């Protein structure tokens, strides 16, 4: 039986079990086309990735050393309010006394904070109902029925772990991505 080769198209075309010459040319063309497309795509994709400068600009460093227990500060993260609050022993106890599984948006205080820093509550200052800025982080502001934050727009109450407890908001205040970069500094984003 004649061997199917590229040099002998008549034989190759008649060999249904092997790769026909036309197929080979098509496969080769597609392969080169694929490589060409990838070499065009890669610079495009690498240009679309954010540069280190852009990533740095989108993170926020907050010095938390001056925040006393029971105090909070308002910062800005990606143009939105950010609350950083140091909880008192009592606020921690109140948060831990709640059975998290009974909450609308179940979460423990440990899950809302970082290990070893459960007294430091870092959340966005944006109500999860329709986006108002809740009260409770500023000096003298009311903190609602659960001692955390209160959104006056439609009456959402958050507790000392920023969990929704009453009112129309569906979720706890959002905890952004952040890390302690030293004992006194957090980097958000």
Q: What is the set of active-site residues?
A: 154
CA angle 12, 8, 27 (to 5 degrees): 55
Q: For residues 150 and 96, is the Cβ–Cβ distance under 8 A?
A: no
Distance CA(19)–CA(170), nearest Å, equals 60
Query: Does 109 sit near ligand FES (CB under 6 A)?
Result: no
For position 125 contacting ligand FES by CB under 6 A, the verdict is no
Nearest-angstrom CA–CA distance, 60 and 62: 6
The answer to whether 123 contacts ligand FES (rule: CB under 6 A) is: no
Choose which of 151, 161, 162, 173 interacts with ligand FES (CB under 6 A): 151
Stretch that binds ligand FES, among 38-46, 54-62, 82-90, 122-130 (CB under 6 A): 122-130
User: Per-residue x/- marks for ligand FES, 155-184, CB under 6 A?
Assistant: xx----------xxx---------------
- Spatial separation of the C-alpha atoms in residues 72 and 122, rounded to whole Å: 10
The rounded distance, in Å, linking the Cα atoms of 84 and 64 is 8
Where along the sequence are the contacts to ligand FES (CB under 6 A)? 127, 129-132, 151, 153-156, 167-169
């Amino acid at each position: 039986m004649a061997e199917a080769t590229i040099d002998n198209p008549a034989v190759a075309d008649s060999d249904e079990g092997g790769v026909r010459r036309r197929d080979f040319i098509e496969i080769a063309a597609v392969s080169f086309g694929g490589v060409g497309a990838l070499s065009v795509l890669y610079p495009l994709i690498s240009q679309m990735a954010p540069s280190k400068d852009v990533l740095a600009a989108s993170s926020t460093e907050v010095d938390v050393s001056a925040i006393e227990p029971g105090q909070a500060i308002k910062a800005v993260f990606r143009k939105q309010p950010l609350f950083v609050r140091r909880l008192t022993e009592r606020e921690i106890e109140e948060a831990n006394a709640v059975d998290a599984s009974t909450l609308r948006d179940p979460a423990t205080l440990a899950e809302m904070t970082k290990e070893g820093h459960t007294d430091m509550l870092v959340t966005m200052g944006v109500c999860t109902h329709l986006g108002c800025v809740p009260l409770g982080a500023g000096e003298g502001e009311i903190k609602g029925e659960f001692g955390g934050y209160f959104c006056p727009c439609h009456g959402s109450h958050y507790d000392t772990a920023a969990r929704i407890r009453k009112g129309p908001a569906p979720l706890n205040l959002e905890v952004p991505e952040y890390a302690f970069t030293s004992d006194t500094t957090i980097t958000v984003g």
